[in-house]
Amino acid sequence: MTKRPEEIALLAEAGKLLADVFGYLDQLGLIGMSTMHINDLVDSLIVNELKARPASKGQYGYAYALNSSPNHVVCHGAPSTTDILQSGDIINFDITLEKNGYIADSSKTYLVGEVSPLARRLVQVTYEAMWKGIKAVRPGARLGDVGHAIERHARRNGYSVVREYCGHGIGREMHEPPQVLHWGKPRTGLVLREGMVFTIEPMINQGRNAVETEEDGWTVVTSDGQLSAQFEHTVAVTGNGVRVLTLRPEEEMLN
């Protein structure tokens, strides 16, 4: 379950490339673009420029380089030529990248054009909740501490945490032990040890935390039709804290 220093170095290399992908997405206008067009741009960037592999492509039969989950879509949204982004939308792009046999996983929710204050607040609190979880990671802490920090922040702000989906260990495989729940009780759960690598990726809903899967078998939506947001980083437990392996340049001050 723990990774050797040389493995973490390779995961960090993949994480740096994945951060570059999000830097590329940051420069796109998004308004008027189809999610399939964005998928194709990301696929080309990863393969042709970064000389890496979009790890989600072909995983579990999934055909694309990213998940695109707008507005009330919680996770696992598939890109489409008919899904055109409009001003006022929020959308999560979840991307995995493999380099030299090791996989990094990250996601970010984007504000498209002029977004309502309520949507903007949901996205901001979700981002803060992810960081609350990250800051709880250290040797000797427990996974329940991580989940509790996330859920407490979400609930204090009037939101709910999706329970059907969670973070996960990662390395040579996209999904490895342990499962990282985004709720929990302090001082419960698996004890964290130096060398563990996993994702923290809370999905926070405006309304109830109930979700359902659409007929395509992939797309997960809020049952009440209200908005959902998500952020994700891949992290490693260090000797005295945590290292975010997918950290983006604008986040350096947060790590």
Q: 197-237, pLDDT tens digit by residue?
A: 999 999 999 999 999 999 999 999 999 999 999 999 999 99
Q: Which two tokens stand for residue 19?
A: 């951060």
Residue 254 has pLDDT above 80, yes or no: no
**Cβ-based neighbours of 158, under 8 Å, separated by 6 or more:** none
Bridge partners, 142 (sequence order): 191
Average pLDDT of the chain? 97
User: Alpha-carbon distance 209 to 73, whole Å?
Assistant: 12
Residue 30 has pLDDT above 70, yes or no: yes
- Model-level pTM? 0.97
- Position 216 scores a pLDDT of 92
Alpha-helix residue ranges (DSSP H) falling in 28-165: 35-44, 117-135, 143-156
User: Alpha-carbon distance 204 to 147, whole Å?
Assistant: 13
User: Alpha-carbon distance 4 to 6, whole Å?
Assistant: 5
Residue 1 has pLDDT above 90, yes or no: no
| pLDDT tens digits, 147-193 | 999 999 999 999 999 999 999 999 999 999 999 999 999 999 999 99
Classify residue 143 by burial, with Cβ atoms within 10 Å: 0-12, 13-18, 19+.
Answer: buried
**113 and 31 Cβ atoms separated by less than 8 Å:** yes
Percent above pLDDT 70 for the chain = 100
- Identify whether 178 is preceded by a cis peptide bond (ω within 30 of 0): yes
- Position 141 scores a pLDDT of 98
**92 and 68 Cβ atoms separated by less than 8 Å:** yes
- Position 44 scores a pLDDT of 98
Pairing of the two strands 160-161 and 203-205: antiparallel
Provide mean pLDDT across the span 55-76. Answer: 96
- Position 255 scores a pLDDT of 66
Residue 113 has pLDDT above 80, yes or no: yes
Q: Which two tokens stand for residue 36?
A: 């399939």
CB atoms within 10 A of CB 112: 20
CA angle, residues 195, 238, 165, in degrees to nearest 5: 65
